[in-house]
Amino acid sequence: MFSTEIYLSTFIYISLFTTLLFIGIINSIQKWKKPDRNYYLKYTALWASGLVYNLVEGLLPDPNFSIAIMPQNIVAWTVGISVAYHFLVFIKKEYQVEFHKKNIPLNTVGMVSLLLFVLLFILPYTITKSIDQSRVFFVSFFLIALSVANLFFVNQLYKRIKAEENIYLKVHSFNGIMGFLGLFSLPFTIIIFGDNQFIEQSFFSLGIFFVTVDYFFYHKRKEEFKKAISFENLTNRETEILKMILENPELKYAQISDQLNISEKTLSTHLSNIYKKTDLTSKKDIEELSEGLRRSIVA
């Protein structure tokens, strides 16, 4: 298409991600001074990575380019791995899921992935000159690793779907499962179908589109969250303070006072009023609110 290697399907995904990116940028600007701006920014970053992925994977490799095929493939695979890792980080943080009971750090996962990419893809490719062999070496390991993660991720989210009563929270967890399956499809489709642009990018992009649904239900989840805490009895300032603690439970009283430009004594008075008007009795109670509800609005 357009004298390039881009398929019509990829062009459609590029158009959709471009539109979503524009929406994300506008909303991020509008919410720049709001507590939940990071929520909008992280989705904007996700759509940017989805756009880059489809552009690069659609264009490369192209024999008509002046650059040799090998560096084109290495660039395309580097971008693909980077976007996949970004999506994995997004899913883990947004849906609060763990790789293992010991909670393996994301930095460790990233460093190991980078090392294996060099050892199992770049080195074999430069030595054998065979993209097919190198692809099988690396993608096979990636598929095994994601299969193990699948046992933990999907199981955690499935349990939440069964436990949650609110439809928006059920949809939130379901979209998390579909997003992860979209990520899981990447090595699976590569091994089964090889360098098939339509199948590979369709399944992976679909995973991102599923989690995108949560972006547009964000306010609905916040409304349900408000109903569960009886915000209607609070003043605007008390509501602001309560939301700030809920969304940033690690903040100290001094930090909250500084951000709101009020004294700690005034903050203490507001907190006392909050405790009287709700079923909460301390900052610890606020921090221990239903994990599902807090997870649904935290950026």
Domain holding 239: CATH number? 1.10.10.10
The answer on 233 and 192 residing in a single domain is no
Confidence check: pLDDT of 42 > 50: yes
Q: Is residue 2 one of the residues assigned to a domain?
A: no
Q: Which residue in the block uniquely carries the two structure tokens 């763990």?
A: 98
281 with 134, same domain?
no
Residue 295 above 80 pLDDT? no
Please tell me which of 104-108, 151-155, 177-181, 214-218 the model is most confident about, judged by mean pLDDT: 177-181
In this predicted model, which residue has the larger pLDDT, 66 or 1?
A: 66
Joined together, the tokens standing for residue 50 give: 């989805």
88 found inside a domain: yes
pLDDT beyond 50 at 140:
yes
Q: Which is higher by pLDDT, 199 or 285?
A: 199
- Asked whether residue 138 is domain-assigned, the answer is yes
Average pLDDT over residues 157-164: 87
Q: Note whether 72 and 143 are same-domain residues.
A: yes
Average pLDDT over residues 38-43: 91
Same domain, 189 and 228: no
Q: Can you give the pLDDT at residue 84?
A: 95
35 and 170: one domain?
yes
Q: In whole numbers, what is the pLDDT of the chain averaged over residues? A: 86
In a domain, 172, yes or no: yes
Q: 231 falls in which pLDDT band (50, 70, 90)? A: low
pLDDT over 70, % of the chain: 89
Question: Range with the lowest mean pLDDT among 9-13, 181-185, 235-239?
Answer: 235-239
Q: Where a domain ends, among 164, 185, 215?
A: 215
> Do 75 and 131 fall into the same domain?
yes
The pLDDT value given to residue 230? 66
CA-CA distance, 163 to 296, in Å (whole number)? Answer: 14
The confidence band for 245, taking pLDDT boundaries of 50, 70 and 90, is confident
Mean pLDDT of 105-113: 85
Which of 168, 185, 215 terminates a domain? The answer is 215
Q: What is the pLDDT of residue 214?
A: 92
| Contact between 163 and 286 (Cβ < 8 Å) | no
Could you report the per-residue pLDDT of 165-194, keeping only the tens digit for each?
A: 778 888 989 999 999 999 999 999 998 998
Both 196 and 99 in a single domain? yes
Tell me which of 161, 194, 215 is where a domain ends: 215
Of 49-53, 201-205, 282-286, the least confident: 282-286
* DSSP assignment of 199-254: HHHHHHHHHHHHHHHHHHTHHHHHHHHHHHHTGGGS-HHHHHHHHHHHH-TT--HH
Q: Tell whether the model's pLDDT for residue 157 goes beyond 70.
A: yes
- Are 57 and 201 in contact, with CB atoms under 8 Å apart? yes
pLDDT band for 293, please (50, 70, 90 cuts).
low
**What is the domain count for the chain?**
2
Range of the domain at 69: 8-215
> pLDDT at position 298, please?
46
Exposed e or buried b per residue across 43-57, where buried means at least 16 C-beta atoms within 10 angstroms of its C-beta: bbebbbbbbbbbbbb
Indicate whether 1 belongs to any domain.
no
